[in-house]
Structure 1
Amino acid sequence: MYFLSEEERRLVLRRLLPQSRQTPVAEELRGWNWHQPPLSPIYEVPLGIFEIAGQYCAGGRDVYLRRVQGVQVPPNQAMVEGSVLHEVVTGIILAAKRVIYRDGAECLPALEGLPPPEPLGDDRLSAALREKIGLLWQFERHRLLARVQEALGQQPHAGPDSLVALALPMTVEQKLNGAFLGLSAHLSVDACAVAEPMIMDLKFGRPERFHRLATTGYALVMESLYEYPVSLGCIVYARFQEGRLVIERDFHIVDDELRQWFIEARDERGRLIEEEIDPGLPGECYTGCPYQAICHPA
C-alpha cells in the first residue's frame, strides 16, 4: 500500500516538494508554534484525530453524543472492515521487518514463506471479508518481495538495518503525543520517508475531501514534537473490484488552507464538548452511521 512506484516517487520529488518550498507555510501555522495562537488549544479537552478529521457527521453530533452524552454504539461494518484490513497491512510490514533483521540478506526464503495473517483464522469474519484479506495479503507480499529483491540487487552487501531502510522506508503505527495541540496523547500514524517525511493514511472507503484533515493533523503533531517541517501527505485509497485490488493515491501539500481548516474543526469540536452544545442533526445523515438509531429512533 505504501510502496510508491518510480513515477510516483518522481512526482513527489520533482513536483510536490519543490511546490511546497516555493509557497512556504505561514510560520504561525507550523506545529512548533503550538504555544501561541492560532495553534494553541482554546479548550482543555483532548481530541482524537478521528474526531476532527472524520467529518461524516457534518455538524459533529456524533462527537457530542459520544463525549458529552456518553452514548456507546458498536462500530459499523465499514469501520470494522477498515480496521481489520489496516491490521493486515501493518502486520505484514512488521513481520517482514522482523525477518530482515533476523536473516539479513538471506531473508528472501523466509519472506516468501510468510504465513497468512491471523485474521484469516477468525471464524467471526464474513466470507467476503476473508476474500478481501487474502487478496490484500497476496498483493502486499508480492510488492514487498519485489522491493527487497530490488534493494538486494542494487546493494547485495546491505546489512539488516540498511536493507530495511532501502526496501521498507516506512514507519507504521508510530506513536505520537498530541497534547501540545490539544489532541490525544496516544496517537498512531503511518509515515514514509521520501527525502522528507510524508504522512500516509490508508482508506478503504470512497474518497472524501475531509480525509486530508487527518494527514494535516498528524503533520502538525510531528512538527510540534520534532520541530522539522512536514509538508506532504498521501491518502491511499484501496478498493476491491472484480477480484482485484485497485489502488489510488491522493498526494497533497499540507498547506495553509488545510492547517487552518484543521484548527477551526478542532476548536469547534472542542467547544461542543466543553460547553456541552448539541449541534442538532446535520442536513443529511450518511448511510451506515452508527448513531442512526439514536438520532432517528423508530
Structure 2
Amino acid sequence: MITVTDLCDYVWCPHLVYLKKVRRIKVPPTPAMVRGTVLHKVREDREARERIVLTNTLEESTSFSEIQSIIYSNGYQCAKNAVLKFRPRLEKAGIDPIELMSFLKQELKLESIVRAARIKRAMAATDVRTAIDLVLPDQRAEEMIEDGSLGLRGRIDKIDERRSGPVPVDYKTGAYHDEPTPGQQVQLAAYALLLERQRGHRVPFGIIEYTAIDRQVPVLIGDEQKEYVLALLDEVKRIVEQQEEPKEVEIKKEKCDACHYREHCTYDCGF
C-alpha cells in the first residue's frame, strides 16, 4: 500500500522513495522531526478537548478573561502531558524539555487570547452553543483513510465537518508560506481524493494550519490536482513494484543538503 507521505517524498525527490520503499533504509528522526511530533501532539490533543471543555463551562455571562483562562489551562495540560510522554525522545534528540515547555506556554498564551477573542465576538452575535459551533466546528482528528482499489492510504491531521462537506486540514509546525509548496499541494489533493471516494462528496479545497502562528490557509483543489495525484501514484507504484532506481532526478543542492537520507543516497549529486 502506498501512502500519501510516499507521494510527497516523490515530489521532493524520487530517489527518496527508492531508498525508503525499496531499500527500506531507516534513519533516526532529526531534532526538528521530534520537536514537530510533540507540537503536533499538543495541537491534536488540545483541539480534541477544547470544544468539550468550552461546551461544559461557558455561559452567556462568561467574560473574555475567563474564556482565555479556560482555553489556556486546557492547552497547558495537553502540552504538559505531551512533553512528559515524549521526554525520553526529546532528550535523546538533544532537546531540553523544560525549554520546549517554556516555548509552548508562551505560544499557548498568545493563541488562547486570539481564540478567546473569536469566541467572545461570536457570543455577542448569537447563543453560546452556536458561537462554539461557528468558531470550533465538529472535527475528527488523526483520521486514517484507505482506498483499496487505488492502493493508497493517508492519515489526515484533522477533518472539519462542515455543512458543505468534509475539509481536510494539515498541520504545519514550520515556517509560514503565502503559497503551498508542491508537496503540501499534493498532500491536500491526495486527502481530498481519498475523502471524495470514501464519502461521495466533492472536496474542492483543504486547509494548511500553521500551528506556530495559529493561521489557516485555504488551498483550492481542482480536478487537475487530483489527476496529478493519480499520476504520481502510478510512478511510485512503478518504483516499488519494479524495485527500480530512478534514473532522472532533479538535483538541487539545497534539497540534498537538507535531506536526512543523504549519507545513504547512491545518487551522484555532484557536490
Whether the TM-score (by the shorter chain) exceeds 0.5 is yes
Q: Judge conservation of contact 2:196–2:203 (CA < 8 Å) in 1.
A: yes
Amino acid at match of 1:205: G
Residue from 267, 275, 283 that aligns with 2:242: 275
TM superposition shift of 1:154: 3.0
- Decide whether aligned partners of structure 1 residues 267 and 151 sit closer, same or farther in structure 2, where only a CA change above 3 A counts: same
Task: Report whether the alignment pairs 1:225 with 2:185.
Answer: no
Q: Which residue of 1 aligns with 2:222?
A: 255
- Decide whether aligned partners of structure 1 residues 163 and 222 sit closer, same or farther in structure 2, where only a CA change above 3 A counts: same
Q: TM-score, normalised by structure 1?
A: 0.68
Q: Which residue of 1 aligns with 2:53?
A: 99
TM superposition shift of 1:163: 5.5
Q: Judge conservation of contact 1:234–1:249 (CA < 8 Å) in 2.
A: yes
Amino acid at match of 2:36: G
Q: Which residue of 2 aligns with 1:53?
A: 8
Task: Report whether the alignment pairs 1:291 with 2:258.
Answer: no
Alpha-carbon distance in structure 1 between the residues aligned to 2:105 and 2:234? 41
Residue from 106, 117, 129 that aligns with 1:135: 106
TM superposition shift of 1:271: 1.0
- Decide whether aligned partners of structure 1 residues 165 and 156 sit closer, same or farther in structure 2, where only a CA change above 3 A counts: closer
Q: Which residue of 2 aligns with 1:74?
A: 28
SS at match of 1:234: strand
- Decide whether aligned partners of structure 1 residues 50 and 150 sit closer, same or farther in structure 2, where only a CA change above 3 A counts: same
Q: Judge conservation of contact 2:190–2:229 (CA < 8 Å) in 1.
A: yes
Q: Judge conservation of contact 1:64–1:278 (CA < 8 Å) in 2.
A: yes
Q: Judge conservation of contact 1:170–1:192 (CA < 8 Å) in 2.
A: yes
Name the structure where helix makes up a greater proportion of residues.
Answer: 2
Q: Judge conservation of contact 2:111–2:214 (CA < 8 Å) in 1.
A: no
- Decide whether aligned partners of structure 1 residues 262 and 141 sit closer, same or farther in structure 2, where only a CA change above 3 A counts: same
Stretches of structure 2 lacking an aligned partner (at least 5 in a row): none
Q: Percent identity?
A: 21
Amino acid at match of 1:274: E
Number of residue-to-residue matches in the alignment: 241
TM superposition shift of 1:157: 5.4
Q: Which residue of 1 aligns with 2:144?
A: 175
Q: TM-score, normalised by structure 2?
A: 0.74
Alpha-carbon distance in structure 2 between the residues aligned to 1:282 and 1:140? 40
Q: Judge conservation of contact 1:223–1:230 (CA < 8 Å) in 2.
A: yes
Which has the higher mean CA deviation after the structures are superposed, 218-227 or 284-293?
Answer: 284-293
Alpha-carbon distance in structure 1 between the residues aligned to 2:146 and 2:190? 12
TM superposition shift of 1:218: 0.6
Q: Which residue of 1 aligns with 2:118?
A: 147
- Decide whether aligned partners of structure 1 residues 100 and 259 sit closer, same or farther in structure 2, where only a CA change above 3 A counts: same
Q: Deviations over 1:86-114 (max 9, x none)?
A: 22221221121231354454794643533
Alpha-carbon distance in structure 2 between the residues aligned to 1:178 and 1:54? 19
Q: Which residue of 2 aligns with 1:87?
A: 41
Alpha-carbon distance in structure 2 between the residues aligned to 1:51 and 1:128? 33
- Decide whether aligned partners of structure 1 residues 51 and 132 sit closer, same or farther in structure 2, where only a CA change above 3 A counts: farther
Q: Deviations over 1:124-159 (max 9, x none)?
A: 23366445433332233223323333343333353x
Q: Judge conservation of contact 2:156–2:170 (CA < 8 Å) in 1.
A: no
Q: Judge conservation of contact 2:11–2:182 (CA < 8 Å) in 1.
A: no
Residue from 181, 185, 188 that aligns with 1:215: 188
Alpha-carbon distance in structure 2 between the residues aligned to 1:250 and 1:156? 28
Q: Judge conservation of contact 1:88–1:137 (CA < 8 Å) in 2.
A: no
Q: Which residue of 2 aligns with 1:38?
A: none
Q: Which residue of 1 aligns with 2:133?
A: 165
Which has the higher mean CA deviation after the structures are superposed, 88-97 or 146-155?
Answer: 146-155
Q: Judge conservation of contact 1:180–1:224 (CA < 8 Å) in 2.
A: no
Higher relative contact order (CA 8 A, sep 6+): 1
